[in-house]
Amino acid sequence: MKKYILYNPLAGDEQGLVSAKKLDAHYIGIELIYIDVTAITDFADFFSNLDDDDDVIICGGDGTLNSFINNIDGLDIKNNLFYYATGSGNDFLRDLDKPNGSEPFRINDYISDFPYLYIGEEKRRFINGIGYGLDGYVCEVGNNLRRTKKKKINYTSLAVKAILFSFRPRNATVIIDGVAKQYTNAWLTPVMKGRFFGGGMMAAPERNRKQKDLSVVVVHGCGKFRLLRILPTVFSGTHVRFKKYIEIHHAKEVTIEYDNPCSLQVDGETVRDVKSYTAKAASRVAAIIK
């Protein structure tokens, strides 16, 4: 039996390999094969060359795990898959109440439950949540800065600057299991599988990842200074007390459309100029296929 360590060298502020190598001390006397996961071009071919009792450990952050589960979507994998978080946000790990540095844990049972995102003809899965609006814009700005600066990006500071100066709310149509609702001045409308996104922001504090639906969080109808008061409470999940400005719905399927295109973030990765998208719980997709 071998253990294949699929690491992302860019994870954790480009410390991915260094962090992954900590597994040497955890698996003493076991053959470990380190492979740059970004260099794998054919995952079907990769898994076809493994023995059934070989283990695969994915090392990286939420973005790495998102990319991996999309690359293996539709494959019949018999190997045990483990996850070792070496990213900077690690919201998937946080949602499972596991601290940073936790030993690798098996994720085969989670994979079939990850929901789907549809943008036009594109279909992909996500693990934590989709941020559409202010959070997508901030993620876009942060990712652009990350390419030019080596220092750590302060996303809270970016959000404050965006609210005050550069981001404007949209009018939104939110269709929840076929029922449409209209919102003016929608700042953000994340759709959540877990509780967290954005490196510790508890957008949907009452969620349980085992739920078969999705949570739709709509922040709307408030001015920029009211939003600045609400923003810090998202980290503790107490923003839900601002019921006049925040609604949380549950849906098997949700479509969200803005009157002007906006960036959205999917587990921390940016998709630009999106006017509408649809998210479906895995149970909803399975029912349609059946």
**Residue ranges per domain, the chain?**
3-112, 117-289
Give me the pLDDT at residue 145, please.
86
Q: Is the pLDDT reported for residue 128 higher than 70?
A: yes
Given pLDDT bands bounded at 50, 70 and 90, which one contains residue 88?
Answer: confident
What is the residue whose two structure tokens read 């600066």?
149
Q: Is the pLDDT reported for residue 217 higher than 70?
A: yes
Q: What b/e readout covers 181-208, taking b as 16+ CB neighbours within 10 angstroms? A: eebebbbbbbbbbbbbbbbebbbbbebe
Closest CA to 271 of 137, 95, 169: 137
The CATH number of domain 3-112 is 3.40.50.10330 = yes
Give me the pLDDT at residue 150, please.
62
In CATH, what number does 117-289 get? 2.60.200.40
CATH topology match: 3-112 vs 117-289:
no
Average pLDDT over residues 6-22: 92
Give me the pLDDT at residue 287, please.
60
Given pLDDT bands bounded at 50, 70 and 90, which one contains residue 59?
Answer: very high
Q: Is the pLDDT reported for residue 147 higher than 80?
A: no
Q: Is the pLDDT reported for residue 132 higher than 60?
A: yes
User: At 104, which amino acid appears?
Assistant: P
